Structure 1
């Protein structure tokens, strides 16, 4: 599968970041500015995404987000996969938020 891919360093500050991980993964830790849309719900909920913006799609390591990007691009959106996913995000020490006061881990 050949999908457009960017590194975490290439994500603009004002980018629309879409996290396609499942609810439990999202709750454990995510980028504060991300929109949560689990890949398992993408076909039903993709209309919640802004059609006029480029979407930066992220998951844990890049596999699910690559599939989501391929589907979104075939559906008329402009989307790119974030290489390395949230694992890379955490490894770089980028900020995470979560649904508890526990340390946020990916």
Structure 2
């Protein structure tokens, strides 16, 4: 994954969103990819704290709709097994966390 899973990158993304350079959907997608690209659950937790409430609710809804461990994952173009494993790890973290 080519997403920088740092607080600084998240802050930059949200600043660009405020300037109108990203849509709600793009922010959600980037945040989910940042959570997946995080080195570990501790880093995911730090990122999650920085995600605005409106984005958290949409990310929560996305994770509730899909189960990366159970559902078939289709990626048009190229599919990298490592990316899929990272998405699974992020969803497992999400399901275990206590907000």
**TM-score category, normalised to shorter length:** 0.3 to 0.5
Q: Larger strand proportion, structure 1 or 2?
A: 1
Q: Larger helix proportion, structure 1 or 2?
A: 2
What TM-score do you get using the length of structure 2 for normalisation? Answer: 0.35
What TM-score do you get using the length of structure 1 for normalisation? Answer: 0.34
Q: Structure with the greater relative contact order (CA < 8 A, sep ≥ 6): 1 or 2?
A: 1
